Chains A and B, each alone.
Chain A
Amino acid sequence: AQKVTQAQTEISVVEKEDVTLDCVYETRDTTYYLFWYKQPPSGELVFLIRRNSFDEQNEISGRYSWNFQKSTSSFNFTITASQVVDSAVYFCALHYNQGGKLIFGQGTELSVKP
């Protein structure tokens, strides 16, 4: 079965703290993609990153970094020096097989307080 689990429902941090959002996935496919999306209060989904199953290299983009580990089926997302504007719901998602379907995790609501 294909499944994405984001165990952290809500996280609250103070500005400038680092925060890691966890994502664990399940799939039988050997070829798949993992995504992170940000959903601010406006509701629009903002694409953050896509990683394919053959590329385990960690990635850094500004204050954002991602740690992909196939051995533990995890694709965690870290925000360094968090800011109030980072407050949003973050979704991890799995794309497998053909067709473009995305399976979303339950989402983690991040609240960054000043």
Chain B
Amino acid sequence: GAVVSQHPSWVICKSGTSVKIECRSLDFQATTMFWYRQFPKQSLMLMATSNEGSKATYEQGVEKDKFLINHASLTLSTLTVTSAHPEDSSFYICSARVGSGTRLPGANVLTFGAGSRLTVL
């Protein structure tokens, strides 16, 4: 089936440093990937839509200069949290949509990565 791999699964960093999170589609190509953020005991909030070969589209209230998204290939999108602060500590989840043209099970269903838990000290 369609698999989305996220790395790292957890990361601890010092305030002021930058952290990169990778999201890979392992057995399918994803022209579009999505980045969500989830604070403890809360729902998933869409941060941005990552488009292969073009600029990401950010949701209202999300700082594009702080959360840099690069979708350089059809199987990889990266989210970089720049100058991280404790309030950026959260669970970050990426997802990709398996296209309708594929024969993979779950076509047109969003597949989610396992998430990356970021703790900023």
What residues make up the interface of A, taking CB atoms closer than 8 Å to B?
A: 35, 37, 42-45, 47, 50, 91, 95, 99-107
Contact = CB atoms under 8 A, between A and B. Distances in A.
A47 B43 contact: no
Contacts of B108: 50
A59 B106 CA distance: 16
B32 A47 contact: no
Contacts of B115: 43-45
Interface in B96-112: 97, 106, 108-112
Contact of A42 (B42, B97, B114): B114
Q: Top 9 closest A-B pairs, CB basis?
A: A45-B112, A44-B114, A100-B97, A43-B115, A104-B44, A104-B43, A106-B43, A107-B43, A50-B109
A102 B43 CA distance: 12
Nearest to A4: B43
12 contacts: A43-B115, A44-B112, A45-B95, A45-B112, A45-B115, A47-B106, A47-B112, A50-B108, A99-B32, A101-B49, A104-B43, A106-B42
Interface of B: 32, 34, 42-46, 49, 91, 93, 95, 97, 106, 108-115, 117
Given A43-B114, A45-B93, A47-B109, A99 B43 contact: no
Contacts of A105: 43
Contacts of B109: 35, 47, 50
A90 to B, nearest CB: 11
B110 A91 contact: no
A8 to B, nearest CB: 13
A43 B117 contact: yes
A3 B42 CA distance: 15
Given A43-B117, A107-B43, A99 B49 contact: yes
Contacts of B32: 99-100
A94 to B, nearest CB: 12
B15 to A, nearest CB: 23
Contacts of A35: 109-110
